[in-house]
Structure 1
């Protein structure tokens, strides 16, 4: 970004159908599913706002008008006539993103507000347009997540396949627009960019120092609400 004093734009991935959260998502899009009374997307935005984020762009497909109406025009929306997956969704929204790099956040995972501020550490770890920096979560801190881990995190902060501590991708990434120059038109996953950076050893990780909640099904939703209602986070 040209103005390093300004927090990067935040791209919210909000186009998923949320079929595993039915019947709730029969009436609201997944980002608006309430967790202890607060919609998922607002919990994610609050995590970013706590570190200085002011400008948000979201992609939307299922019940896009409902998402737009919820924010009353305070959220810029990139509408998808057909689902473009995570990578294709970000690529379509690139003209709406004023900063470079920018932050990408899934809208189905969050940490308790005020428990950590990892994005600042991620921005410090980012060194150039060939990098991607991922938020990483130790399995012991992850709730509502089925897989054991996604990657390994080496002592020097590089993400690898099999060297270092097992970690889960926490749904937050710092990346730049040049990474999308040689990508497919239409739908594709951000995993394509992660794999390219992994191959050239420019995929880095920063560990979240807080509990992390992934809300992908009713059981995970109940777990998150129970934890948030407890006097202290687990």
Structure 2
């Protein structure tokens, strides 16, 4: 059986990180009642908002510009991003306001493209993270994308190593890092991906999921995966907060 593909080690010095799209507009229904009065991205885990954990992961590898989509409790999100911008003046933070309707992950990325200057762009969910410095997965994603064999490269995790995540699998990955549905071992999408602007711009002018974009890339035979090489935490419901805090406490 093919081994999981492990890209050659890549460090911050090897690559220039793209602009970062942080997906933070969702209603957080599975996190209720905590999201009745705040966005999911501002729920604290181990004393820090979820979105800050994700930003720290990107900062550890050299990210400089962040665009955050907002919709649920937008004033609270905008105020938090403004505080980050004031505290980190050497970085750039902007918000993409989905005022009239929630655009879902794919629609939110497409809507925010005018604020994102790089090609490719880095897309990160704000409910999953790893401990900064424990791996360089973003650099490895970018290095894999630079081979020009994929329109998007997804960070993946084995299902039994996805803390707080109960889904069996999103894809199968083969020994070359190709993602599909028929050949390879099961993996879960770990909420971070490098996207070409062209792929990110596709899609209808209605809300749609990034899963649609993944399908387009898969049909082209241009979707790859990279395995994360450190514990990964998905915080999707209140119980996951406890599990994640307990897991982090054993490592820090």
Q: After TM superposition, is the score higher than 0.5? A: yes
Secondary structure, aligned partner of 1:169: strand
Change (3 A) 1:182 1:9: closer
Q: Does 1:118 align with 2:137?
A: yes
Following TM superposition, by how much is the alpha carbon of 1:129 offset from its aligned partner in structure 2, in angstroms? 8.8
**The one of 145, 157, 160 aligned to 1:140:** 160
Partner of 1:61: 71
- Structure 1 gaps of 5+ residues are none
**The one of 199, 220, 223 aligned to 2:240:** 220
Partner of 2:11: none
- Structure 2 gaps of 5+ residues are 1-13, 86-92
CA contact (8 A) 2:109 2:200 kept: no
Secondary structure, aligned partner of 1:72: helix
Secondary structure, aligned partner of 1:205: strand
Partner of 2:96: 78
CA contact (8 A) 2:42 2:51 kept: yes
CA deviations over 1:166-211 (Å, ceiling 9, x no partner): 1100000101111144420121111111001111211000000011
CA contact (8 A) 1:129 1:178 kept: no
CA contact (8 A) 2:50 2:126 kept: yes
State the number of aligned residues: 229
Once superposed, what is the RMSD of the aligned Cα atoms?
Answer: 1.6
Following TM superposition, by how much is the alpha carbon of 1:61 offset from its aligned partner in structure 2, in angstroms? 0.1
Following TM superposition, by how much is the alpha carbon of 1:110 offset from its aligned partner in structure 2, in angstroms? 0.6
For the residues of structure 1 that align with 2:201 and 2:23, how far apart are their CA atoms?
Answer: 20
When the two structures are superposed, what TM-score results if normalisation uses the length of structure 2? Answer: 0.87
CA deviations over 1:54-81 (Å, ceiling 9, x no partner): 1100100001111111132623100002
CA contact (8 A) 1:110 1:212 kept: yes
For the residues of structure 1 that align with 2:202 and 2:48, how far apart are their CA atoms?
Answer: 38
Q: Does 1:52 align with 2:62?
A: yes
For the residues of structure 1 that align with 2:201 and 2:149, how far apart are their CA atoms?
Answer: 11
